[in-house]
Amino acid sequence: MSIIAWLVVGLVAGWIASMVVNRRGEGLIMDIVLGVIGAFVGGFIFSALGHGGVTGINIYSIFVAAVGAIVLLLIVHAFLGRRGAL
């Protein structure tokens, strides 16, 4: 996947995760970073469950990245609390 594809998937997945967990976006850059890291986390989780990871710009990849970003945000909030997180 190209850098542009990672950024697009990261932005959409990070924004979705921010809306689910925080009820607001984290900002453009943080949503991209959250989504890209979430893509790795989601890919690891889905691979462990026997499914594929992020494969390109498609709904499945955005779903995998969003799940990973949600898990990542929940972990960050658990350790830093709601106020101190991202």
Type of residue at 76: V
Q: Which residues of 15-51 are buried (b: 16+ CB within 10 A; e: fewer)?
A: bbbbeebeeeebeeeebbbbbbbbbebbbeebeeeee
pLDDT at 68: 92
Residues of the chain with pLDDT under 50: none
* pLDDT tens, residue by residue, 55-74: 888 899 889 999 999 999 88
Residue 70 in tokens: 């949600």
- Whole-structure pTM value: 0.82
